[in-house]
Amino acid sequence: MLRFIFNRLLQAIPTIWVIITLTFFLIMNAPGNPFSQEREMREETRQQLMEHYGLDKPLLVQYWTYLKRLASFDLGPSFKQEGRSINEIIAQGFPVSLELGLLALGVALLVGVPAGVIAAARQNTILDYLPMSGAMIGICMPTFVIGPILGLVFGVWLGWFNVAGWFSWEDRVLPAFTLGLAYAAYIARLTRAGMLETLGLDYIRTARAKGLREKTVVLKHALRGGIIPVISYLGPAMAGLISGSFVVETVFQVPGLGRYFIDGALNRDYFMILGTTIFYATLIVGANLLVDIAHTLLDPKLRKA
Amino acid sequence: MVFKRLTPSIETMESAAEKPHSLWVDSMARLRKNQLAVASLWIFVAIAAFCFIGPIFHPHAPDDSKITLRETPPFAEILEYEDRFGNAHQISRKDFPQRNRDLPGSVLEAVENGTSFVYKDIEYRNSKDIYFLGTDSQGRDLMARIMQGGRISLGVGFLATLIALLIGVTYGSISGYQGGRLDAFMMRTVEILYAMPFTIFVILLMVVFGRSLILIFVAIGAVEWLTMARITRNQVLQLKEQEFALAARAMGVSTPAIIRRHMIPNLLGPIVVYATLSVPAIMILEAVLSFLGLGVQPPDASWGSLISDGAQKMTSSPWLLLAPAAFFSITLFAMNFLGDGLRDALDVKSSKD
């Protein structure tokens, strides 16, 4: 097991390195530069700024400096928010994004898994069709459609929640649901499919033949196997929840990392884009790693391989 | 060549019995039985026709901005008048009292009663124009804007899918067919790219290469080909060990010809299914970009940018959000149901991985 984890870690490093390199050269070769949009900036000032951030040196030198910086976990300064480092910005924005992501994951699991289990246990009844049609809606309606509509209905018309902001717990409800619902839909479908497959297996028949109650069979015996597809989906889901939250953050004006990333992209704040991309990529690789480990722990067949 | 002699006798057998059904004929028959998929297909055709043919019959242009008519609700009664300089204007009857303070009682009454009236030497008449979906914050007809946005959204969806298909199928079939080290290297590359957060990567590409419509196609296509490459490779791996492929190789057919003649036709099923399901996914990606301000730039519109504009005005003019959101969602539903129907009809096991 330890060996497996070590091997996967070893595989993750080149992946992250390729992403760093690719992103770096893409960004640095972009036409124009971060200071070309600013009005009334004198040529000398611009030159000084370029020098200050080391942008005047050859690209390979810059790349090497950047890698050295990264080795000490320093993502560099922001071009646009003077005096702030990317590390500070991430330290400020990420906890918010993480909170939102985890809340959304909670919504997704709490809505998705029970819906999927019920649908599978009552296959081809109204309890199957209803949640599954709901899931189709959740999959088809992207967050930037659901978000404003939820805001319109519950914020503007019903007045239950604020339409924007991130202050009290009530402000968390709409963003978390908006972000979580699409994933809840996927999870419900995955759970249903996984449960249906497991419920047809021999050991379930054995459990029923022993005279166990249907509730025990479904929740204790079948769920353990049926949930495996959901576990493997959690990796991409976590990645999507954390890195895909910028739409929701824009809709509800949540001060998370996604907002900073989008602002960085709109303003050509190179280190900002680079730093956040690398941060996200590392997170996603890490999330996938965790899922692989969880997967091997749950499925004894994979442990030997 | 030995096989050729047998052919005539096979043909006589066939003519005696019913004509054999090809995979496609069978599949289409199965698809036709799936009412949901058929309905989805028609809904999709209707929306596409609305966007592409609709403008010919629609009286309003998407860029015709009537400032006096801004944020007019759907089906509002419209008044038309000419100002002192002889320019024609329109204003919604309901908005008239709000835009002109201290109206005399007789005018107010006329406004209420829905008749023509004269105010400050200007004659206000009822207009025959109807704005079915209302107008936006710049007084442009929302229906015309939705048609225009739909052309871009659907266009991006289909073109980017086509790009993803071309890259993915070529890449996947080479990787799968050649196998060995090349395959390992090519698939490792795909895996690394998979670890990139998709949306972030597309945003990166948009930042690097500027925000233009063509680049949206390229950026999205460049990201979406990965899954296509994987599906193709897995299929090719299975196909190339089958007898007909072995026979072709034994007869000395060149590799590109085998891929083109024997592999790709057999791949069509899964490819068609995946492509159908890709279109809505790509439309969402484009809409996300436009929603964030990184995609289509004004005055052009896509459904994403219309939803984004609408979201900002939703408190005062909810139709600006609801109408484009409805068109977008219905299209996504239709494409997803059609894709699911095709998957069942073509009997493709799994569209992903």
Q: Out of B224-233, B239-248, B340-349, pick the least confident.
A: B340-349
- Pairwise pLDDT comparison (B346 vs A255), residue with the higher score: A255
Residue of A nearest to B326 (CA): A145
> Which pLDDT belongs to residue B44?
92
Domain boundaries, chain A: 93-254
Mean pLDDT of B220-227: 82
Task: Domains for chain B: give ranges and CATH numbers.
Answer: 42-54+141-350 (1.10.3720.10), 76-126 (no CATH)
Sign of CA dihedral A159, A160, A164, A166: positive
Asked if B133 and B319 count as a contact pair (C-beta separation under 8 A), the reply is yes
> Which pLDDT belongs to residue A243?
66
Give percent of chain B above pLDDT 90. Answer: 5
Query: Between B210, B291, B294, which is nearest A144 by CB?
Result: B291
**What fold does the segment set A93-254 form as a domain?**
MetI-like fold (1.10.3720)
| Ranges assigned E (strand) in chain B | 78-82, 88-92, 117-119, 122-126
Rounded to an integer, what distance in angstroms lies between the CA atom of residue A90 and that of residue B210? Answer: 26
Asked if A104 and A183 count as a contact pair (C-beta separation under 8 A), the reply is yes
User: Is the Cβ of B79 closer than 8 Å to some Cβ of chain A?
Assistant: no
Q: In terms of C-beta density within 10 A (0-12 exposed, 13-18 middle, 19 or more buried), how is residue B16 classed?
A: exposed
Give percent of chain A above pLDDT 70. Answer: 92
Mean pLDDT of B33-62: 87
Q: Residues 6 or more apart from B211 whose CB is under 8 A from it?
A: B294, B295, B297
Dump pLDDT digits (tens) for B134-185: 787 777 888 888 999 899 899 888 988 988 888 998 898 888 888 888 888 8
pLDDT-based confidence at residue A38 (cuts at 50, 70, 90): low
Question: Does residue B16 have a pLDDT over 50?
Answer: no
Does A140 sit within 8 Å of B336, measured CB to CB?
Answer: yes
b or e along B65-102 (b: 16 or more beta carbons within 10 Å of the residue's beta carbon)?
bbebbbbbbeebebbbbeeeeeeebbbbbebbeeeeee
Rounded to an integer, what distance in angstroms lies between the CA atom of residue A86 and that of residue A82? Answer: 11
Question: Does residue A79 have a pLDDT over 80?
Answer: no
**Roughly what angle, to the nearest 10 degrees, separates helices A86-121 and A228-243?**
150
Residues from chain B contacting residue A273 (CB–CB below 8 Å)? 204, 207
| Shortest alpha-carbon distance between residue A274 and chain B (Å) | 9
Does A261 sit within 8 Å of B204, measured CB to CB?
Answer: no
Does A140 sit within 8 Å of B197, measured CB to CB?
Answer: no
Type of residue at A142? P
Instruction: Say how many CB pairs under 8 Å bridge A and B.
Output: 115
Look up tokens 């005279």; give the residue.
A211
Dump pLDDT digits (tens) for A65-75: 888 888 888 77
Asked if B269 and B339 count as a contact pair (C-beta separation under 8 A), the reply is no
- Pairwise pLDDT comparison (B65 vs B239), residue with the higher score: B239
Question: Does residue B15 have a pLDDT over 60?
Answer: no
> Which pLDDT belongs to residue B43?
93
* Selected residue of B185, B190, B199 to mutate for chain A interface (largest A Cβ count, 10 A): B199
> Which pLDDT belongs to residue B195?
67
Mean pLDDT of B243-252: 86
Read off φ and ψ for residue B79, nearest 5 degrees: -105, 140
> Which pLDDT belongs to residue A72?
81
Query: Between A139, A247, A268, which is nearest B291 by CB?
Result: A247
**Range ranked top by mean pLDDT from A45-59, B42-56, B267-281:** B42-56
Question: Does residue B346 have a pLDDT over 90?
Answer: no
Look up tokens 């249907």; give the residue.
A214
Does B197 sit within 8 Å of A243, measured CB to CB?
Answer: yes
b or e along A188-210 (b: 16 or more beta carbons within 10 Å of the residue's beta carbon)?
bbbbbbbbbebbeeeebeebeee
What order do you get walking across the sheet with B122-126 strand by strand?
B88-92, B78-82, B122-126, B117-119
